[in-house]
Amino acid sequence: MSTARRLDPVLLLAAPAVIYLAIVYGLPLLFLLGRSLFGAGGLASFGSFFADPFSWIILGNTLRSAALVTLVCLVIGYPTALVLARAGGLVQAAILVAIILPLSVGVVVKAFAWQIVLRRDGIVSQIMTGIGLWSEPQRLLFTETGLVIGAANIFVPFMILPIYSVLKLVDPRLGEAAATLGASPLYRFFKVALPLSLPGIVTGIAFVFSMAASMYVIPSLVIGDRFQTLATLTGRSFLFMRNEQLGSTTAVVILALTVAIVVASSWLSRRLGGAS
């Protein structure tokens, strides 16, 4: 009893950081939540937010664009993670550089670059007209397609890395064993490789979706004011509209969405990991 109660002195080393984050970050989040639920206006502001048809358009924009970004990231990210896990030497190094370098460059820089690439005279338009897929140059900037391309580019490392971290632990002999036992390549993929990588896929989807649902810089540079999402509305209501009540409400909606996704995915990937 007494040994369990006595504070381990080594733990004191952790105290400054934990106390710091609790005060500067934990408490403010709790206050934000508390005020939006119990403060003046409180729950009523959620009521009026969800009663407004405009809010549903914004929610739709947010969820649809995030879902599309996640889908694109999964389709191009999974094969990349697969190659990264199996390759060695120079190929692996090249893929790793292509993932880590963009990750360490700021989002403003990359969003600015996509502004250039997606213009009517940008590279995408030049390539598409060059190979004859488009009859005339088109502008993807300020379109939802452009937003999805730019956002997928910025978030795809967060899909590749969790899948890679699971795939690199999979024993390659498992596939060989299945082949020796007569399993067809498709059967082997769907019954061996895919189930083993599911925890990584779930984590990747959760990362990308929650980041894409709360992105702010990319939409403001790549698509502009006409396309509002929860995050752009939140930012604008604080920075330009001075409607902090609305901003707090939407901030709490984003927070709830992200926390739900993170919690659900970690539970799911743990279950999937335990099952295999």
Partner 1 sequence: MTMIEKIAGWLTGILAFVTVVFLMTPLVVTVAVSFGSSAVFTLPAPSWSLRWYEALMRSRDLWPPVFASLKLAVLSTAIALVLGTLCAIGLLRGRFRGREVVVTFLVSPLMLPGLVIGIAMLESFRAAGLRDVWASLILAHVVITLPYVVRTVFASLSLFDFTLIDAARTLGLTYPKAVMKVLVPSLAPAFLTSGMFAFLASMDNYPISIFFTDAWTKTLPIQMLQYVEESPDPTIAAISSLLILLSIGVLVIGDRLVGLRRMADL
Residues of span 35-64 touching partner 1 by CB under 8 A:
35
CB of 45 to partner 1, least distance (A): 14
* Residue 31 makes contact with partner 1 by CB under 8 A: yes
Which is closer to partner 1, CB of 43 or CB of 94?
A: 94
**DSSP SS3 for 158:** helix
Tokens 């920075």, located at residue:
239
Site membership for partner 1, residue 178 (CB under 8 A): no
Binding mask 233-272 for partner 1 (x = CB under 8 A): -xx--xx----x--xx--x--xx--xx--x----------
Cβ of residue 180: shortest distance to partner 1, in angstroms?
Answer: 14
Pull the structure tokens for residue 88.
């060695």
- The torsion angle over the Cα atoms of residues 27, 25, 266 and 84, rounded to 10 degrees, is 180
What is the tally of helices (H) and strands (E) in the chain?
16, 0
Given 45, 210, 228, 269, the residue binding partner 1 (CB under 8 A):
210
Which residue is associated with the tokens 């009517």? Answer: 120
State both tokens at 20: 């710091």
Task: Please list, in sequence order, all residues whose beta carbon lies within 8 angstroms of the beta carbon of residue 257, skipping any fewer than 6 positions away.
Answer: 210, 213, 214, 230
Contacts of partner 1 in 113-172 (CB under 8 A): 113-117, 119, 121-123, 126, 153, 156-158, 160-162, 164-165
CB-CB contact of 140 with 118 (8 Å): yes
* Packed helices 157-167 and 144-155: angle between N→C axes, nearest 10 degrees: 40
107 belongs to the binding site for partner 1 (CB under 8 A): yes
Asked if residue 70 binds partner 1 (CB under 8 A), the reply is: no
Region binding partner 1 by CB under 8 A among candidate stretches 9-17, 46-54, 55-63, 129-137: 9-17
Secondary structure class of 228 (helix, strand, coil): coil
79-98: contacts with partner 1 (CB under 8 A): 79-80, 82-84, 92-98
Q: Which of 2, 5, 16, 89 binds partner 1 (CB under 8 A)?
A: 16
For position 11 contacting partner 1 by CB under 8 A, the verdict is yes
Minimum CB distance to partner 1, residue 63 (Å): 15
Distance CA 170, CA 265 (A): 21
Residue given tokens 């109660």 in the structure block: 5
Tell me how far, at minimum, the Cβ of 253 lies from partner 1, in Å: 10
Assess contact for 215 and 153: CB atoms under 8 A.
no
List binders of partner 1 among 213-232 (CB under 8 A): 214, 216-217, 220-221, 231
